[in-house]
Structure 1
Amino acid sequence: MNQSIPFPKKAKPQVQHQQPGIESVMDPAPIYEHPDYQKEARLQDKVAIITGGDSGIGRAVAVAFAKEGADLAIVYYNETEDAKKTKEQIEKLNRQCLLIQGDLANASFAQDIVNQTLTTFGKINILVNNAAVQYPQADITQIKDEELHRTFDVNYFGTFYLTREVIPHLTAGDSIINTTSVTAYEGHEMLLDYSSTKGALTAFTRSLAMNLAPQGIRVNAVAPGPIWTPLIPASFDAKKVAEHGTSVPMKRMGHPVELAGAYVLLASVEGSYMSGTTIHINGGTITNS
């Protein structure tokens, strides 16, 4: 990539009142595509399922995968307009896109995702478990049971359900990629339940990688830091949104496009000797990985 993107460093104060958030109303708009991306057909004719693929990191990964030749099944909760835009971007790249709406917290939805993907594309090669919710609370006594359960149901159990359904359809060379978080390694004073789910996903990634190694299926993770996604204005007050990313060494928030290449690496033959590992993309924060 030869062209440098002038990434907006700060977000304007803003709040959304819906999880996991809407990308189309964010200011500034998250950057999800690099204008100078070099296509190399790394994923030619592969089929990928991406949860939370309607916006944020999921959209950036979907667009990068499409540029590399993959067809996409995009799983989303209720952000229909965002999902339609992602589908439009993928189809502009002459790849197919299937939109699948539903709630990952329901175990039966996982089978529906697999069935629809197989009916449309006939195979599955890549699974990106990316969808998540979070409900910040400054005091553990204020964390409601329903929010605690919802966080685990979407972030961890939803990942487990879908992975369990997908694995029988994967073969040697295929890949599973989980989106964890810097909070799994550093913790977060307001995200006790969210960071716990990401810690669980980190352990799940390492254990499943060992379990599937004999089959030649690789399992890895990406741990984002303060990335500008809809989850941020949907979770925090306007002041915290405006400060998002300013505390990391690079002194700015990251944008979804800055993670997409890591997912391409982990999904492609270029990452063929990588399994059970986590790539940290967090603006220079040093973690104990």
Structure 2
Amino acid sequence: MSSPKAYPTVLLTGAGSGIGLNVLGQLLEKHSGTRVQVLTLFPTPELTALEQKYGPSCLNTVYGDACDTEIVAKAVKATISNYGTMTHLISSVGTMLPVQSIREVPLGEMRKIFDINFFSVFDLVQRSLPHLSAWGEGARKPTVIIVTSGVDYDVLYRGWTGYCTSKAALTRFIHLLAHEEPGLEVYGVLPLVTKSPMVDKIFNGEYDHVMRPEERERFNTWAREGKIEPPEYIAESIVKAATGQITPASKEVERNDCGALFIGSLYQKQ
């Protein structure tokens, strides 16, 4: 019988919808033997269907807020209790809200977006580090995969201060995690514009009163050119990194000077 560590044992956050849900589905459907402990905010029909299909031997779920330190601790403990190990940590939590100008955004809302996009991930990683272990043939390094955003550096949209600055902090955290933990493979994930409820709000005009017309028009242009990607695309890159199909030497990877590895639509090479 194969050792449980021959397959990835994953703690995955943000799996109720979007990128996270697609990562979960692809891990379970394409990689038999993978076990996944999910931490997500609330049940969705798609997630419930996967729970019923695969059962607790492959999939368990803790429901709750990733910003709640007790919930995060519960999810980490459940991973070890249910599966005896943790070889992978995949974080796909995130929000774009609030979309408001610097003059108008309440400080409390800015703190909230940092809680979701940065501090919840920091807490998750810190609590998981003692439990991450090698896996597979050749004892592959434990793996941490964090979805961040290409808005972290030079992208400018009016009203996006919270999103851009919190993602900048998260990307820098990925650099430093790789620097401090050379025994891990640390991947940052940088999607292009991905179809999601956040992007849908842009097309529905919910932010037209904040974003400048030329900024809003960029999204219309990308939609006409077919450049709004479905979440399946970036989820596939994440799953390939988690299962060893993308490695540090792969053409899809950019290595930061700190040792962090970046994958995603921004780095798809021909």
If the TM-score is normalised by the length of the shorter chain, which range does it land in? 0.7 to 0.9
Report the counterpart of residue 238 of structure 1 in structure 2.
Answer: 204
Q: Percent sequence identity over matched residues?
A: 21
**What's the RMSD between the two structures over aligned residues?**
2.8
Question: Structure 2 matches for 1:123-272, cutoff 5 A?
Answer: 123-172=85-134, 173-189=141-157, 190-213=159-182, 215=183, 217-233=184-200, 235-236=201-202, 238-239=204-205, 245-248=219-222, 250-272=225-247
Residue type matched to 1:112 in 2? K
Distance 2:229 2:219 in 1: 7
Is the 2:101–2:161 Cα contact (8 Å) retained in structure 1?
A: no
Call closer, same or farther: CA 1:200–1:121 in 2, change over 3 Å: same
Distance 2:195 2:167 in 1: 18
Q: Shift of the alpha carbon at 1:197?
A: 1.3
Distance 2:93 2:103 in 1: 26
**Structure 2 gap ranges (5+):** 135-140, 208-215, 250-258
**Structure 1 gap ranges (5+):** 1-42, 285-289
TM-score by length of 2: 0.77
Corresponding position: 1:109 with 2:71: yes
Corresponding position: 1:281 with 2:265: yes
Cα-to-partner distance string for 1:146-201 (whole Å, 9 max, x where unaligned): 22111111111000001011111112411000101121133242211111111111
Report the counterpart of residue 256 of structure 2 in structure 1.
Answer: none
Is the 1:245–1:254 Cα contact (8 Å) retained in structure 2?
A: no
Q: Which has the higher contact order (CA 8 A, sep 6+)?
A: 1
Is the 2:41–2:63 Cα contact (8 Å) retained in structure 1?
A: yes
Cα-to-partner distance string for 1:78-111 (whole Å, 9 max, x where unaligned): 344343134346x29x961111111111222221
Count of aligned pairs: 237
Is the 2:22–2:235 Cα contact (8 Å) retained in structure 1?
A: yes
Distance 2:48 2:238 in 1: 22
Call closer, same or farther: CA 1:278–1:240 in 2, change over 3 Å: farther
Q: Which has the higher helix share?
A: 2
TM-score by length of 1: 0.73
Distance 2:197 2:43 in 1: 11
Distance 1:79 1:149 in 2: 26
Distance 2:218 2:89 in 1: 29
